Amino acid sequence: MRINIITIFPDFFTSPLDVSLVGKARDSGTLDVRLFDLREHGRGVHRQVDDAPFGGGAGMVMMVQPLAEALEPLADTHRVLFTPGGTPLDQETLDRWATLEDLTLVCGRYEGIDERVAEHFIDEEISIGDYVLLGGEVAALVAIEGVTRLLTGVVGNPTSVETESFREGLLEEPHYTRPAEFRGWGVPEVLRSGDHARIEAWREEERLRRTRERRPDLLDE
């Protein structure tokens, strides 16, 4: 799979793309990431990519021309713009993106981009949550990590891809490993009982308890 990134901060991506399973996926050729510096399409000696908004107001707006020039050669890819006004990112969206040959991620900036970019050069506008960032770069990294773990051969144990949070519509139960006691804090007795039926019943109850407490929106209760 190829992922193209359009950004004014290509350096932002260096370390995150070099390490962990994303770095391994790139080394093995499973994932090909291409960074495009939007400033190469900027206007004038300052390579300007933003300008004051028509109608007035605070902040700057990303200009249509640099983004049009950057996106025109990528017209045959699936083009995603990260913006706080987009559709919320979810696992279904990542699953869909992981089936694509060529995905393009456009990192906007908070004040916004000229609407003509979204109208003519973007397939999908996506938000990663209801909070304010400085730009779409972190959102693009979220997408890359979420997609990469779905690519064939990236995650060793294929069942872990299927059984994680959100796959069953519930949060995960708490996990423990050795030692059985640390600073007087023990591990739930049931997990050391060897009774697999009891253990599975406990885990299911904990998944429900946790989901009810933290994410009632995931339950139809």
Query: By the criterion CB under 6 A, which residues form the site for ligand J9Q?
Result: 82-84, 108-110, 127-129, 132-133, 135-136, 139
Q: Which is nearer to ligand J9Q, 93 or 127 (CB)?
A: 127
Which lies closer to ligand J9Q via its Cβ, residue 141 or residue 171?
141
Q: Which is nearer to ligand J9Q, 75 or 132 (CB)?
A: 132
* Sign, Cα dihedral of 15, 72, 82, 100: negative
**Closest approach of Cβ 19 to ligand J9Q, in Å?**
23
141: nearest Cα among 35, 53, 28? 35
Amino acid identity for residue 99 in this structure: T
Judged by CB, which is closer to ligand J9Q: 17, or 105?
105
Phi-psi category of residue 117: left, alpha or beta, with phi > 0 → left and psi -120 to 50 → alpha: alpha
Smallest distance from ligand J9Q to CB 177, Å: 34
- 24 Cβ contact partners less than 8 Å away, ≥ 6 residues apart: 154
Say how many residues make up the chain.
Answer: 221
Question: What's the half-sphere exposure (Cβ side, CA atoms, 13 Å) at 163?
Answer: 8
Cβ at position 139, least distance to ligand J9Q in Å: 4
CB of 4 to ligand J9Q, least distance (A): 17
Q: Which is closer to ligand J9Q, CB of 53 or CB of 135?
A: 135
DSSP state at residue 11: G
DSSP 139-170: HHHHHHHHHHTTSTTTSSSHHHHHHSTTTSSS
Task: Give least dist CB 122 to ligand J9Q, A.
Answer: 13
Q: How far is the CB of 104 from ligand J9Q (least distance, A)?
A: 15
Which residue number, 135 or 174, has a Cβ lying nearer to ligand J9Q?
135
